Chain A
Amino acid sequence: MQPFRQFAYRRSADQDAAAPVRHPVVIVGAGPVGLTLALDLARRQVPVVLIDDADRIGEGSRAICFAKRTLEIFDRLGLAEAMVEKGVTWQKGRVFRGEAELYAFDLLPEGGHKQPAFINLQQFYVEAALVDAVLAEPLVDLRWSNRLAGLDNRENGAHLTIATPDGDYSLEADWLIACDGARSPTRGLLGLEFRGEAFEDRFLIADVKMTAPFPTERWFWFDPPFHSGQSALLHKQPDDIWRIDLQLGPDADPEDEKRPEVVRPRIERMLGHSDFALEWVSVYRFQCRRLDQFLHGRVVFAGDAAHQVSPFGARGANSGIQDADNLGWKLALVVQGRSPASLLASYDSERVAAADENILNSTRATDFIAPRSPGERLLREAALSLAPLTGFAKRFVNSGRLSLPSAYAGSTLSSDDESWDKGLQPGTPFLDAPLAAAAHTWLSEAFSMGQAILLGDGAAEIAPAGVLAIEPAAGDETLRQRYALEGGAAVLLRPDGHVAARFRQPKRAAVEAAVERMEGRG
């Protein structure tokens, strides 16, 4: 995997067309979310124009924690193996108060999952892997140095003005997907409000290069001995790079704090030595905000353009890639005329709810880490002091609740069989399991076919066309257990892996009805 790459601007034939060329899907922003969506749509035979105002992969490591669910999505797209090999796999963490360890945690205590709980991998490596895959994909037309400069969001499509080094040109899109990040110019062009809270405390985020014997665990300190009264986080990345977050308080001057002569002594105090090189430094103030809606006529927002969280919990990039996962199959059905456009309303409701869950968790963690009033600080200190003595107080300690996929409770795409309440509820994300005899060795790999999956004994008999049937083989006890596949029960999984329906004694008609509903026709 090779990061830091620059790409050439290339003139497109669209720039010389007599009339604006119309494309089914234009994506703005070739970051992790836009690239993932472009690749997913191309695999579903939907051609995509992907534009980005830059001509290179972003520098600085930025997002570093990629969660199991995200890796399952990348695996479906054929990219996870190289990422996991390059990344630092971890699942354990420790939380300290001063010198003392308060507790340790393990994010993936059970076996039978293909992907690890988390890997740490610099965002530029993830983007490089996605760009390589996109460049090999004939259905994606990736245009660097193409900036969305004008947008007319009409009922029948979006009319775009695109600025390039050769001047402006026009395009039309049936659907415009804005994956253009927290400062989303598309949001600005539509004049949409991005509502939420800003946190006062500033945080220093630094990547340092050093060889160190610390384990590959997430270490978090409240009031560390080397950084009194604040918090600190230490986390390993590939290439002997370590991510360090230091809380600076509300009054820190961001420009001053970024100067190496200020940063280095802080990190020296933390590490106890000066044998390291500063790779990247940034000073942040965090915000938790989202758009009221992610779907605005023919324009759909995903990732940071739609919602923003603080980094405690690794919910930024992970939730953005899960937006792409939710949108890809639905948009493909709509573009191909197999589902009505109203199917996309479920993207809005499901991912708005997921964003709210991420914002809630991120806000709670940020408030615990950086209390906003003397009373909150007192309460936080009380929880920390009781944590070594009692289980309940440990549960109150919050250094970030790490990203888990949201359950789409009450999804309009779900069907419920009232006579059957075992296994996973409709809306819940799938649980991986090894498969003894199927064409894929893991359930998570079967999603690479791009189809919905019907799981259960006799599934092949009753699976409608286009739905992949998987029947448990001898030895698939984990699968049977995780989905309560007993006495003829079956489960219908959406192409994004969420449970669409579960059945006690499925008949073909019931499965067909559930597929109709899942695809927005029921």
Chain B
Amino acid sequence: MTAAATTGSSGRLARESRFADPDAAFRLLAQAHRDLDERGSTALNARLVLILANQIGDEQVLREAVALAREAS
């Protein structure tokens, strides 16, 4: 099952990995949480969302990202 098939193929949101080393990227994010409690992590996540949303700078892509995040369970 391709990602496009589940949420429509017209989107511009990247659904395949764009990282040469996805494990390194995941670890970078994970380690940012290591010494934080739950509240600290929630706040860090929120700040990261805003920083990365601004980096994307594209409302349509952001809309698709929000929809994908809401779809996952």
**Closest residue of A by beta carbon distance from B26:** A396
Contacts A364-B27, A398-B26; A389 near B3 (Cβ below 8 A): yes
A395→B21 CA distance, assembly (Å): 9
A396→B24 CA distance, assembly (Å): 9
A385 at interface (Cβ–Cβ under 8 A)? yes
List B contacts of A395 (CB < 8 A). 17, 19, 22
A367→B33 CA distance, assembly (Å): 12
Contacts A373-B34, A376-B34, A378-B45; A391 near B26 (Cβ below 8 A): no
List B contacts of A396 (CB < 8 A). 17, 22-23, 25-26
Residue among A361, A372, A373, A385 making CB contact with B73, cutoff 8 Å: A385
List A contacts of B22 (CB < 8 A). 392, 395-396
Shortest CB-to-CB span from A222 to chain B, Å, is 14
B7 at interface (Cβ–Cβ under 8 A)? yes
Contacts A392-B17, A401-B23; A376 near B33 (Cβ below 8 A): yes
**Closest residue of A by beta carbon distance from B18:** A392
Shortest CB-to-CB span from A199 to chain B, Å, is 13
Shortest CB-to-CB span from A298 to chain B, Å, is 38
List A contacts of B71 (CB < 8 A). 389
B6 at interface (Cβ–Cβ under 8 A)? yes
Contacts A374-B41, A396-B22; A391 near B16 (Cβ below 8 A): yes
A371 at interface (Cβ–Cβ under 8 A)? yes
Scoring B19, B29, B33 by chain A CB atoms within 10 A of each residue's CB, the highest score goes to: B33
**Closest residue of A by beta carbon distance from B43:** A375
The answer to whether B34 touches A386, judged by C-beta atoms less than 8 angstroms apart, is: no
B44 at interface (Cβ–Cβ under 8 A)? yes
A348-384 CB contact bits vs B (8 Å, 1 = yes)? 0000000000000100100110011111101110110
A378→B34 CA distance, assembly (Å): 12
The answer to whether B27 touches A392, judged by C-beta atoms less than 8 angstroms apart, is: no
A390 at interface (Cβ–Cβ under 8 A)? yes
List A contacts of B27 (CB < 8 A). 364, 367
Q: Given A368-B30, A373-B33, A379-B29, 10 more contacts at CB 8 Å?
A: A364-B23, A373-B36, A373-B41, A374-B38, A375-B32, A380-B30, A389-B7, A391-B3, A395-B17, A396-B25
Q: Interface residues, chain A, CB within 8 Å of chain B?
A: 361, 364, 367-368, 371-376, 378-380, 382-383, 385-386, 388-392, 395-396, 398, 401
The contact sample of 29 A-B pairs, CB cut-off 8 A, is: A364-B26, A367-B30, A368-B30, A371-B30, A373-B33, A373-B34, A373-B36, A374-B33, A374-B41, A375-B30, A375-B34, A375-B41, A375-B42, A378-B45, A379-B26, A379-B30, A386-B72, A388-B1, A388-B72, A390-B16, A390-B68, A391-B15, A391-B17, A392-B15, A392-B16, A396-B22, A396-B23, A398-B26, A401-B23
